[in-house]
């Protein structure tokens, strides 16, 4: 286990424990995050993140990804003053991504995929879909869209940095969302091209909850 992974695991555990207390409070809202430097694909077995194209994702680049799962009965939030306003209930998933050290001014298509990263770009499997398209690979915008999948496209700034976030009203099925894949170009949205973003240039393992 790398130092980064060990620290990440320790902090993540601490964070979920902290959120879980006091005992009488609302149900816990699991928080997961990873912070990894990209390794060559040959290192996939022990790497948190791998690159398949060093010209677009060099090994000096890093990615930070966080997930907040707002669970079970939903998080309560009161608006307005005492005795007025309305009560709102939230349930869902928030995913945040930030990258640095990438190609400046480049649009990367980025999504949550179903399998862990591997030595081959295709190891990460298809996109995670809340409602699964019976026809795979899914290029139908009815299923391949940013509400049914998690899209985190980024256009980097002049320094090669960028960030993206996604809020969904649903939660991942346990163990079925395992990575974030960075693709060569922007994600398509039209019939037959929906969800497509070209070659997979890098992958980050994320144990989504
Ligand atoms: Cu993808």
- pLDDT at site 47: 97
> 200: CA distance to ligand 1 center in Å?
7
Q: How far is the CA of 179 from the centre of ligand 1 (A)?
A: 10
CA of 33 to the centre of ligand 1 (A): 19
Indicate whether 87 belongs to any domain.
no
Cite the beta strand spans of the chain per DSSP E. 31-40, 49-51, 62-78, 87-100, 107-113, 154-155, 162-168, 179-183, 200-205
Say what the pLDDT of residue 79 is: 52
- Span from the CA of 124 to the centroid of ligand 1 (angstroms): 9
- Supply the pLDDT for residue 20: 40
Distance, in Å, from the CA atom of 65 to the CA atom of 31, rounded to the nearest integer, reads: 11
Query: What is residue 57's predicted lDDT score, i.e. its pLDDT?
Result: 98
**pTM above threshold 0.85:** no
Quote the CA–CA distance of 63 and 60 in Å, as a whole number: 10
The predicted structure's pLDDT at residue 77: 53
Q: Residue 36 is part of a domain; what is its CATH number?
A: 2.60.40.200
CA of 203 to the centre of ligand 1 (A): 9
Give domain status of residue 131, yes or no: yes
Report how far ligand 1's centroid is from the alpha carbon of 154 (Å).
13
Domain that holds residue 148: 3-75+93-205
Q: How far is the CA of 20 from the centre of ligand 1 (A)?
A: 33
Judge whether 122 lies within some domain: yes
Give the pLDDT of residue 3: 40
Q: Nearest-CA neighbor of 62 among 207, 204, 208?
A: 204
Q: CB-side exposure of 94: number of CA atoms within 13 Å?
A: 10
Number of domains in the chain: 1
In a domain, 80, yes or no: no
Please tell me the distance between residue 152's alpha carbon and the centre of ligand 1 in angstroms: 10
* Distance in Å, CA 137 to ligand 1 centroid: 11
- 25: CA distance to ligand 1 center in Å? 37
Ordered per-residue pLDDT tens for the chain, 209 residues: 344 444 344 444 444 433 444 444 545 678 999 999 999 999 999 999 999 999 999 999 999 999 999 876 545 555 555 544 455 567 899 999 999 999 999 999 999 999 999 999 999 999 999 999 999 999 999 999 999 999 999 999 999 999 999 999 999 999 999 999 999 999 999 999 999 999 999 999 999 99
User: Quick check: 65 and 33 in contact, CB under 8 A?
Assistant: yes
Burial of 47 (0-12, 13-18, 19+ CB in 10 A): buried
């Amino acid at each position: 286990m790398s130092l980064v992974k060990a620290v990440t695991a320790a902090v993540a555990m601490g964070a979920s424990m902290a959120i879980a207390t006091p005992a009488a409070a609302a149900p816990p809202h699991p928080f997961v995050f990873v912070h990894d430097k990209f390794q060559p694909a040959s290192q996939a077995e022990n790497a948190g993140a791998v690159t398949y194209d060093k010209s677009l994702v060099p090994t000096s680049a890093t990615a930070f990804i966080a997930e907040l799962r707002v669970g079970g009965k939903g998080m309560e939030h009161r608006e307005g003053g005492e005795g007025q306003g309305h009560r709102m209930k939230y349930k869902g998933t928030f995913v945040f991504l930030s990258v640095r050290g990438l190609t400046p001014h480049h649009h990367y298509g980025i999504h949550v995929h179903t399998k862990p990263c591997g030595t081959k770009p295709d190891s990460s499997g298809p996109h995670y879909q809340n409602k699964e398209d019976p026809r795979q690979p899914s290029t139908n915008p009815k299923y391949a869209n940013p509400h049914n999948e998690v899209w985190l496209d980024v256009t980097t700034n002049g320094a090669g940095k960028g960030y993206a976030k996604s809020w969904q009203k649903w939660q991942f099925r346990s163990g079925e969302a395992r990575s974030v894949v960075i693709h060569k170009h922007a994600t398509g949205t039209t019939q037959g091209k929906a969800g497509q973003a070209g070659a997979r240039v890098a992958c980050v393992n994320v144990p989504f909850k």
